[in-house]
Amino acid sequence: MNFPTHRFYEDVLALFCAGVLVSFGVVLFGTHNLLTGGTAGIAIIGTHLFDMSFGLLFFLVNIPFYYIAWTQLSKRFTINTFISVSMVSVMTEHMQHVIKIESIHPIFAALAGGMLIGVGLLIMFRHKSSLGGLGILALYLQNKFNIRAGNFGLLADAVILTASFFIFSIDLVILSVVGAITLNILIAVNHKPGRYQAVIKTKKTNNIHKDATLKKELLGVIE
């Protein structure tokens, strides 16, 4: 699996920042008990079914997916993902000690929460990491079958949020859908196969003797 190369300290800084963004997004969702997709959504649903915290459930749900990451993606990706999942698990548990939100509009919480989690995921993807679980599966499918991670995420989230209709109120699920759509559209638009790669374009040109030659033009980084 091809990734941009970053120095170790760049990965550490980026994954920490991504962890803060994702954790804050989860906190915004939590102000109105909103749901999200992926393994985070599964963990949130689990907190309503079992007497366990989000952080612990989120960590446990991700464990089986590490095998796919280790065998199909890369060892470094697996280690970075483990670090990211661990940081988000710890940060969400202790975020209440550093920030308290007394009032926030539910629609803004859904939109802003989705954006924060989406941006956090993009940072993780760029630094050989993810939030584990379905994120690992999404990157594997994108790399192996050219299926966009955001599109797969929308499908997976649709299944999870549809299942939540049997547990939560309709208005809560609708707001959660708004947040999930915001998150996945952001990823689908900004995380596409082939981005951030140097591309060599070859075309024919004529020299002064009118002989056909190959001229290679380095187009640079695509964005």
What pLDDT does 111 receive?
94
- CA distance linking residue 59 with residue 74, whole number of Å: 20
Tell whether 64 is covered by a domain. yes
Q: Which three-class secondary structure state does DSSP give residue 220?
A: strand
What pLDDT does 195 receive?
54
Tell whether 223 is covered by a domain. no
Contacts of residue 205, Cβ cutoff 8 Å, sequence gap at least 6: 213, 214, 215
Cβ contact 140:124 at 8 Å: no
CA-atom Rg of the chain in angstroms: 20
Cβ contact 129:10 at 8 Å: no
Quote the domain boundaries for residue 28.
8-193
What band does 192 get if pLDDT is binned at 50, 70 and 90?
Answer: low
Tell whether 48 is covered by a domain. yes
Tell whether 210 is covered by a domain. no
Tell whether 207 is covered by a domain. no
Cβ contact 167:50 at 8 Å: no
* pLDDT tens digits, 166-187: 878 888 888 988 888 888 788 8
Average pLDDT, the chain: 79
Res. 78: pLDDT tops 70: yes
Burial class of residue 70 (count of CB atoms within 10 Å of its CB; 0-12, 13-18, 19+): middle
Q: At what angle do helices 54-62 and 38-49 cross, to 10 degrees?
A: 130
- CA distance linking residue 39 with residue 62, whole number of Å: 7
* pLDDT tens digits, 27-58: 998 888 888 777 878 888 888 888 888 888 88
Cβ contact 160:38 at 8 Å: yes
* pLDDT tens digits, 96-125: 888 888 889 999 999 999 999 999 989 988
Res. 133: pLDDT tops 50: yes
Quote the number of domains for the chain: 1
Q: Tell me, yes or no, if the pTM score tops 0.85.
A: no
